[in-house]
């Protein structure tokens, strides 16, 4: 048995929580926690398998006095204190504050059309037969410390159930807010089930209002039944002191269509894990991502697409810009299993570095065991095109704005993938603001608050 400060930290927190602070007495949940915490108490962590971000997190936990908020804050309407720029999309909004579901007196809402949304723990109490066939279906492998961590210590998360044959037109938005001067440690566990022939869009945002050194480790499990369409949008705007681990596990049944767009505007330390299992034929997964990092920010995207059944399609396009001393890491892995004939799987990662000190690491990776497949992967990292810059400047556009136009053009290809029009417009605006240094001027973001607005130019679409 190996006891590191990290392991003992986890075990201590577990001890603390298991004295009645886990909010359910369901033995199955307790068994989940128990099993996961053993990853830390019995085997410890094999140091050879720990990658750099895991090491960073382990060190951070060793040196930071993280605390778990043990009870929810008294109820206040979210509008009173949350005014982030990502808001204002026309959605049904549900929010978590410091790891706790915000609600007035209804931890679980059952809509007339059969949709159920609310606290996962409440759903376990009220609808255990609905939850347990889906919860924690992802096996924890030995080096999956963030998943194990979440499973050991999660207190709550969002539960969404969409019944069969329902087209939900208005997107649902989940906002996870950190508002605390404490160094908060939050493990949020979300579960989304989309019934047969249904369609649904989900927007997930992570924001910080006040910032101690927060450690937010989310797990979201998504189950897509036959003939479903599901759009997953993730937007991240985190301060420099925070660690955000966002893990999404998707399982797709026959002819289901999964679309994701994960956009990181500011990172601190962000890891996005996206694992998609194409379990039955004719399922498709389209995965888009954009990351814009500067200063000393770190963003990592780990993608794993598992082609298990034949005749499935997957497509990945991830793009990023790294400025200053920022680091971006793309790790894309596609496996085509022996049975997955006629698979089409594509993966592209494109990056721009703006300085000599910005770092891009990219690892496109294909593993193919079937012989009748179409697959490709590719990665590029470069600078802005000098010829294009010269061309723009030769028409009177200053160098700074010329660069801005090129970066914007590079980035919006990802925003263009968004199907929800209001969200697309929002993303355009945010990308523009981010690139012009304006997003950080938001009074709720610490990142570059001293920066002045240097730009006089405006990208708009008034004519289109």
Binding site for another protein (CB under 8 A): 385-388, 390-399, 401-402, 405-406, 408-410, 412-413, 456-457, 459-460, 462-464
Q: Least distance in Å: CB of 456 to another protein?
A: 7
CB 182 to another protein: min, Å: 43
- Which residue lies nearer to another protein by CB, 375 or 455? 455
Minimal distance in Å, beta carbon 289 to another protein?
A: 17
Taking the least distance from each CB to another protein, the nearer of 1 and 462 is 462
Residue closer to another protein, measured from CB, 452 or 463? 463
Q: Which CB sits closer to another protein, 184 or 412?
A: 412
Given the complex with another protein, which of 115 and 292 has the nearer CB atom? 292
Give the residue from 316, 304, 301 showing the smallest Cα distance to 348.
Answer: 316
Q: What's the closest the beta carbon of residue 146 comes to another protein, in angstroms? A: 35
Instruction: Provide the minimum distance between the beta carbon of 377 and another protein in the complex, in angstroms, as a whole number.
Output: 21
Sign of the CA dihedral 284, 91, 197, 275?
Answer: positive
Question: What is the C-alpha to C-alpha distance for residues 235 and 201, in angstroms, rounded to an integer?
Answer: 14
- Cβ atoms of residues 384 and 409 within 8 Å: no
Residue 40 or 410: which CB sits closer to another protein? 410
- Sequence-distant (6+) residues with CB within 8 A of 463 are none
What does the alpha-carbon distance between residue 299 and residue 267 come to, in Å, rounded to a whole number?
6
Rounded to a whole number of angstroms, the minimum distance from the CB of residue 327 to another protein is 25
* 178 or 407: CB nearest another protein: 407
Closest distance of CB 432 from another protein, Å? 11
Torsion sign across C-alpha atoms 249, 378, 343, 424: positive
Q: Residue 206, Cβ neighbours under 10 Å: how many?
A: 25
Residue 112 or residue 396: which is nearer to another protein going by CB?
Answer: 396
Pairing of strands 92-97, 116-119: unpaired
Q: Tell me the closest approach of the beta carbon of residue 404 to another protein, in angstroms.
A: 9
Could you tell me the smallest distance in angstroms from the CB atom of residue 319 to another protein?
Answer: 11
Nearest CB to another protein, comparing residues 354 and 397: 397
CB of 415 to another protein, least distance (A): 11
Lookup result for tokens 């201590």: 12
- What is the distance between the alpha carbons of residues 1 and 458, in angstroms, rounded to a whole number? 59
Shortest distance, position 412 Cβ to another protein, whole Å: 6
Least distance from another protein to the Cβ atom of residue 111, Å? 40
Cβ distance to another protein smaller for residue 47 or 385: 385
Tokens of 278: 């194409």
Residue 297 or 432: the one with the smaller Cβ distance to another protein is: 432
Which residue from 84, 89, 126 is spatially nearest to 109, judged by alpha carbons?
Answer: 126
Q: Give 18-23's long-range contacts (Cβ < 8 A, gap of 24+).
A: 21/70, 21/155, 22/155, 23/121, 23/155, 23/156
Q: Which residues pair with 352 in a beta bridge?
A: 321, 382
Q: Which is nearer to another protein, 111 or 391 (CB)?
A: 391
């Amino acid at each position: 048995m190996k006891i590191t400060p990290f392991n003992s930290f986890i075990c201590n927190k577990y001890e603390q929580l298991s004295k009645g602070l886990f909010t359910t007495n369901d033995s199955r949940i307790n068994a989940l926690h128990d099993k996961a915490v053993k990853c830390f108490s019995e085997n410890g962590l094999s140091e050879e398998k720990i990658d750099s971000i895991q090491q960073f997190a382990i060190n951070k936990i060793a040196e930071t006095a993280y605390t778990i908020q043990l009870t929810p804050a008294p109820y206040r309407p979210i509008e009173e204190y949350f005014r982030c720029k990502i808001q204002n999309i026309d959605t049904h909004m549900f929010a978590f504050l410091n790891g706790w579901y915000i609600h007035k007196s209804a931890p679980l809402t059952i809509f007339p059309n059969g949709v159920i949304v609310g606290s996962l723990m409440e759903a376990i109490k009220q609808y255990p037969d609905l939850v347990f066939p889906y919860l924690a279906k992802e096996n924890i492998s030995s080096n999956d410390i963030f998943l194990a961590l979440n499973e050991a210590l999660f207190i709550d998360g969002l539960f969404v159930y969409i019944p069969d044959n329902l087209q939900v037109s208005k997107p649902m938005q989940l906002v996870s807010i950190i508002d605390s001067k404490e160094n908060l440690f939050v493990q949020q566990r979300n579960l989304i089930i989309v019934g047969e022939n249904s369609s649904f869009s989900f927007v997930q945002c992570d924001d910080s209002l006040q910032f101690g050194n927060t450690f937010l480790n989310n797990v979201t499990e998504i189950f897509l039944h036959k003939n479903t369409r599901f759009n997953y949008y993730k937007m991240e705007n985190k301060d420099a002191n925070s660690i955000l681990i966002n893990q999404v596990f998707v399982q797709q049944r026959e002819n289901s269509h999964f679309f994701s767009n994960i956009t990181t505007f500011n990172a601190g330390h962000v890891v996005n894990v996206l694992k998609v299992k194409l379990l039955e034929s004719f399922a498709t997964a389209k995965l888009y991502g954009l990351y814009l990092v500067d200063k000393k920010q770190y963003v990592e995207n780990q993608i794993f697409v598992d082609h298990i059944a034949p005749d499935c399609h997957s497509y990945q396009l991830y793009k990023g810009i790294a400025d200053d001393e920022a680091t971006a890491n793309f790790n894309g892995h596609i496996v085509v299993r022996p049975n997955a004939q006629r698979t089409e799987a594509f993966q592209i990662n494109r990056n721009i570095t703006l300085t000599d000190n910005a770092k891009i690491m990219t690892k496109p990776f294909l593993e193919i065991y079937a012989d009748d497949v179409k697959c490709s992967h590719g990665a590029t990292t470069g600078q802005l095109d000098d010829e294009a810059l010269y061309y723009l400047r030769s028409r009177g556009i200053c160098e700074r704005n010329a660069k801005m136009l090129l970066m914007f053009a590079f980035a919006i290809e990802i925003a263009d993938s968004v199907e929800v029009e209001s969200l697309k417009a929002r993303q355009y605006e945010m990308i523009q603001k981010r690139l012009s240094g304006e997003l950080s001027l938001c009074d709720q973001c610490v990142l570059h608050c001293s920066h002045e607005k240097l730009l006089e130019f405006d990208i708009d679409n008034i004519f289109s």
